[in-house]
Amino acid sequence: MSTLVVEVCEIDEVSPHHNADALELAQIKGWQCVVPKGKYAAGDLVTYIPIDAMIPAEHSDRWGITQYLSKGRVRCARLRSEPSFGVIVEREDPRWELGTDVAEHYGVTKYEPPVSFWAQRTDALAPHPLFEEYTDVENLRNYPDVLAAGEDVVVTEKIHGTNSRIGIVEGEWMAGSRQVRRERPENLAHSVYWAPALIPEVVSLLEHFAQDHRQVVLYGEIFGSKVQSLHYGASGAGGFQAFDLMIDGHYLNAFEFRQVCASFGVAMVPVLYEGPYALGIIKALSEGNTTLGAEHIREGVVVKPIAERRDPKVGRVCMKYIGDPYLFAKNVTDSRDV
């Protein structure tokens, strides 16, 4: 889940809009915004409001953008064939420095999709400190400098499903959604979060490491026709692919994780690229069709450094990049996990 960031930013570049004489293209963070010609220049400090922000009417009316919002929600748009993501407004207080968070000042909040059917179940248990929630995966376009040009990264396909964590903690089996530990049902198939415990390869992996470790948690994505609108050919909630493994408080690096999954035969999210980081490569990989089947579009990608590390802005470096075709898709619906 990414954080809402409404902050003072510097415009990186302004270039002509080749299909509209009165418009220009402003590059800000990792986003492109269509702006009135002559209004902004490279180096200007402005306030950037990203897509999926909810803007109170008092401000959207004042800025003259209410008609372009969807019930107050900032959506991506195409203006004379050029994609535009978010809203740029002038920095209203000259004391606001680069990086100042002004979300609270404007009362801007984040749009939240409806809670998924599975997450609404009344099977929540008290949290366990060693059954850790997964990393907050931030949007790479909001933090384009977190990864350095040329840094060795691994890029995997982002699957449109629901987050799953399952593990053995201090000898006890546990399973849950992203934020909620879930009660074990008599029939594991009745819980989408416990269903991975029916996969023999997953059981073997967890039981193997639990022999010598206090905490073993496998993180993955559950998908199918009853999960999200992109089902990848899986019926019900029958698809599962792993994307990370924590052992005693530490995530395995990309190479170790791939070795472990291969050794136990656990399906893992498709690896699309390993090599030097470049934003252009990531953008290209985020588009096209999924590698999983059913001829769906690709939601996007997840990018991690080969060598596990942390960053002061985002914590553990694990970033997502959602593809433009997915952001503009009309036949894709989202529900959120809790």
pLDDT tens-digit readout, 130-161: 999 999 999 999 999 999 999 999 999 999 88
Q: At 77, phi and psi to the nearest 5?
A: -145, 160
Instruction: Tell me which long-range contacts 279-287 makes (C-beta under 8 A, separation of at least 24).
Output: 279/30, 279/140, 279/144, 281/155, 282/140, 282/155, 282/321, 283/321, 283/323, 283/324, 285/155, 285/321, 286/321, 286/322, 286/323, 286/324, 286/326, 287/323, 287/324, 287/325
Contact 252, 244 (CB under 8 A): yes
- Residue 235: how many other CB atoms lie within 10 Å: 10
pLDDT of residue 237: 66
Q: pLDDT under 70 in the chain at which residues? A: 1, 116-121, 237, 294, 334-338
pLDDT of residue 52: 95
The structure tokens listed for 55 are: 């803007």
Domains and CATH numbers, the chain: 7-110 (2.40.50), 118-328 (3.30.470.30)
> Which amino acid is present at 78?
R
pLDDT tens-digit readout, 6-40: 999 999 999 999 999 999 999 999 999 999 999 99
pLDDT of residue 329: 86
- Residue 186: how many other CB atoms lie within 10 Å: 5
Nearest to 34 by CA among 42, 43, 24, 44: 24
